[in-house]
């Protein structure tokens, strides 16, 4: 289960080879040879591991009846086109994040994470016991797809800032790389969200082309080096628990025997859980060493006034989209109702416990 073990044994893009030698004799052949396309390039550690672990788990459980080749983005060259690759049947499966399909279906954002949304523990309860899975199926079924959860990043950091944000005035005109829905929200309070390719982010921040940016969290941020050029590391608000998803071509899945359907579903559930655990672990370990190596990093949280202003802008954006799109409204209302109960429990359980120790 340790990442090390996978790194040792895995050969990306031919991951099918990992476990097959243990299972199939020379005369045997897998009855189902599937392929999964990832949004992620090979160096996206935790994200790639989730799909690799899934494929290996499925192969071993099925005794080699089904093999799943894992293709990282370098192979298929269509990282943000997984939806169509799987719908069209070029790949039986994909591993990506639901909110990348916002342009096709705005409601898909709720299956990843939304500004001021739920924590991972609250969100998983919503998915499996609060009607979330049924809603996700309703959204994806009409595109000929199944969508199952595929792993969580844990709470994402608010990003790296060159100047401290002391009031809502400090957001006015702020040039920040923050894509998607969160960028739209910041634009509503006067910021200037921009999109810049990952490879150019460091230089853009260093030269002042942008004033701030958000990436993921310590485990992935550290490789980008932002801690060397921006002293303020803000806590999160915009993606409190980003969940990845597996996509499956509906016809291909329906044609499998019951045992293999159950094996695939169980392996995806395992991957979702284990990526959450791995994210928690790697963020904790990397943050521990990052703050020792860069003691000048200042952890900041937006002041109350700023939080309230961007939360108000967020709710306005939700209401506007709800009035235009019935499916968005349906999922939004489900989460809104669920979070009101889930958060009250969080407050008297984990939150009260953690705060009692401070």
* Rounded distance between C-alpha atoms, residue 299 and residue 39, angstroms: 30
- Where does residue 173 fall: left (phi above 0), alpha (psi -120 to 50 degrees), or beta otherwise? left
Buried b (16+ CB within 10 A) or exposed e, 157-167: bbbbbbeebee
Of 288-327, which residues contact a copy of itself (CB under 8 A)? Answer: 288, 291, 299, 301-302, 304, 307, 311
Sign of the dihedral through C-alpha 341, 140, 59, 91: negative
- Residues 6 or more apart from 57 whose CB is under 8 A from it? 267, 270, 271
277 makes contact with a copy of itself (CB under 8 A): yes
Q: Strand, helix or coil at 350? A: helix
Of 241-260, which residues contact a copy of itself (CB under 8 A)? Answer: 257-259
Site size with a copy of itself, rule: CB under 8 A: 79
Choose which of 60, 196, 224, 315 interacts with a copy of itself (CB under 8 A). 60
263 makes contact with a copy of itself (CB under 8 A): yes
Choose which of 164, 262, 293, 305 interacts with a copy of itself (CB under 8 A). 262
- Which structure tokens are listed for 303? 């002041």
- Which structure tokens are listed for 234? 């803000």
Stretch that binds a copy of itself, among 30-38, 66-74, 78-86, 268-276 (CB under 8 A): 268-276
Distances (CA, A) of 338 to 124, 332, 355: 11, 10, 23
From residue 142 to residue 161, what is the string marking binding to a copy of itself with x (rule CB under 8 A)? ------------xx-x----
7 makes contact with a copy of itself (CB under 8 A): no
Choose which of 57, 96, 107, 335 interacts with a copy of itself (CB under 8 A). 57
Least distance between a copy of itself and beta carbon 288 (Å)? 4
Choose which of 159, 240, 318, 328 interacts with a copy of itself (CB under 8 A). 240
From residue 202 to residue 231, what is the string marking binding to a copy of itself with x (rule CB under 8 A)? ---------------xx-------------
């Amino acid at each position: 289960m340790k990442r090390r073990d996978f790194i040792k044994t895995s050969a990306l893009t031919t991951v099918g080879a990992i476990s097959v030698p243990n299972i199939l004799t020379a005369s045997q052949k897998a009855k189902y040879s599937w392929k999964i396309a990832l949004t992620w390039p090979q160096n996206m550690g935790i994200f790639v591991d989730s799909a690799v672990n899934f494929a290996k788990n499925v192969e071993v459980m099925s005794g080699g009846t089904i093999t799943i080749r894992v293709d990282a983005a370098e192979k298929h060259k269509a990282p943000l086109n997984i939806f169509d690759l799987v719908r069209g049947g070029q790949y039986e499966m994909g591993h990506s994040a639901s909110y990348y399909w916002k342009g096709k279906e705005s409601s898909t954002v709720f299956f990843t994470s939304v500004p001021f949304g739920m924590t991972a523990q609250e969100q998983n309860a919503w998915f499996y016991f609060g009607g979330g899975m049924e809603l996700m199926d309703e959204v994806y079924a009409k595109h000929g797809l199944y969508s199952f959860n595929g792993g969580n990043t844990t709470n994402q950091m608010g990003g790296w800032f060159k100047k401290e944000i002391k009031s809502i005035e400090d957001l006015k005109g702020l040039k920040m790389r923050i894509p998607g829905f969160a960028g739209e929200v910041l634009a509503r309070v006067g910021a200037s969200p921009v999109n810049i390719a990952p490879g150019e982010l460091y230089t853009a921040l260093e030269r002042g082309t942008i004033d701030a940016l958000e990436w993921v969290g310590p485990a992935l941020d550290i490789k980008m080096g932002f801690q060397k050029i921006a002293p303020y590391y803000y806590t999160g608000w915009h993606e409190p628990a980003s969940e990845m998803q597996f996509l499956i071509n509906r016809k291909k899945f329906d044609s499998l025997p019951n045992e293999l359907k159950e094996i695939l579903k169980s392996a995806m559930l395992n991957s979702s859980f284990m990526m959450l655990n791995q994210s928690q672990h790697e963020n904790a370990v990397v943050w521990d060493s990052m703050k020792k190596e860069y003691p000048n990093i200042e952890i900041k949280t937006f002041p109350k006034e700023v939080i309230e202003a961007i939360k108000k802008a967020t709710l306005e954006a939700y209401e506007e989209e709800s009035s235009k799109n019935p499916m968005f409204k349906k999922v939004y209302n489900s989460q809104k109702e669920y979070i009101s109960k889930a958060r009250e429990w969080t407050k008297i359980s984990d939150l009260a416990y953690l705060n009692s120790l401070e």
